[in-house]
Amino acid sequence: MSMRFENHIKVKNLDWSYGAQVVLTDVSVNIEKGKFYTILGPNGSGKTTLAKIITKTMDTPKNKVFLLSEDITKLTNKQTARKIATVPQNTIIDFDFSVMDIVLMGRAPYLRRFQSESSLDFELAKDAMLKTNTWHLRDKKIDQISGGERQRVIIARAITQDTEVLILDEPISNIDIHHQIQLLEVLKKLNKEKNTTIITILHDLNLAVQYSDEIFLLSDGKLVTHGNPQAVLTKEIIDEVYNIEVDMVVHPSTGKPYIIPVFNEFQKTGS
């Protein structure tokens, strides 16, 4: 028996421009509850703008984004934050808060004004920090740790928020390969065990294939195609969107497609 999914987020015929610069054109996507999604596309294709509009971190137009069939613009910021947690592309923080203070900010949507965090809030924060390998950093100042460590702390904050949807804009861009895989495994575990809907923006096509249930491929602000990774990331589509020739092989461990760039003679010889 196949699992039934309900529509969690719906984006309907979205157009977006910055002045005269068109960024998104007639983009429509359906996000089903409990799936792991990746948004792919070349630089400048509109990936981050789409994520910001879904999360209301920029001026979301009315009747374009729906959360469980309700226009998301009708929700307050606190109501939205109880449903959707986000990890932005820019994780720089200009204040000298401790790492623990930053992670506990994930509980803010559930607290009344001047209310202190409970033991449950601290437990959720500790659990998220253990999962992201940041617990040992808890007493350090956020401006005294590395960029990769800060990235993992912001992801821990989002996990601590304990939402139905988690949207992450290039969450593994500033961290080493070990922590990249570790964090994607954490996200996949959240997805499977807590039925958390995960939406990531990635550049690594192979990691997208390995972890995603479905992929949305953008190019020049338009949705080129969407579906399961095998259907979306074909040699022909990759060539069309990324302007690069690739070979496709079967990954020996997962059995999923693995993408290898085809190097021309100049690249082969290094001449």
Please name the amino acid found at residue 263: F
Residues 139-146: contacts with CB under 8 Å, at least 24 apart: 139/98, 139/99, 139/100, 140/98, 140/99, 141/96, 141/97, 141/98, 141/99, 142/93, 142/95, 142/96, 142/97, 142/98, 142/99, 142/101, 142/102, 143/93, 143/94, 143/95, 143/96, 144/96, 145/99
**Taking a C-beta distance cutoff of 8 angstroms, is the pair 70, 146 a contact?**
no
**Taking a C-beta distance cutoff of 8 angstroms, is the pair 178, 132 a contact?**
no
Q: Is 21 exposed, middle or buried (0-12, 13-18, 19+ CB in 10 A)?
A: exposed
Q: What are phi and psi of 76, to 5 degrees?
A: -70, 165
Q: Where are the domains of the chain?
A: 92-162
- Find the angle CA(17)-CA(75)-CA(89) to the nearest 5 degrees: 50
**Taking a C-beta distance cutoff of 8 angstroms, is the pair 42, 219 a contact?**
yes
Q: Is 267 exposed, middle or buried (0-12, 13-18, 19+ CB in 10 A)?
A: exposed
Give me the pLDDT at residue 253, please.
86
Give me the pLDDT at residue 122, please.
96
Give me the pLDDT at residue 2, please.
45
Give me the pLDDT at residue 37, please.
98
Taking 70 as the pLDDT cut, the residues of the chain under it are 1-6, 265-271
Give me the pLDDT at residue 5, please.
52
Please name the amino acid found at residue 47: K
User: What H or E segment, with its residue span, contains residue 84?
Assistant: strand 84-87
Question: From CA 68, how far away is CA 6, in angstroms rounded?
Answer: 9
Give me the pLDDT at residue 12, please.
96
pLDDT of 160-178, one tens digit each?
A: 999 999 999 999 988 889 9
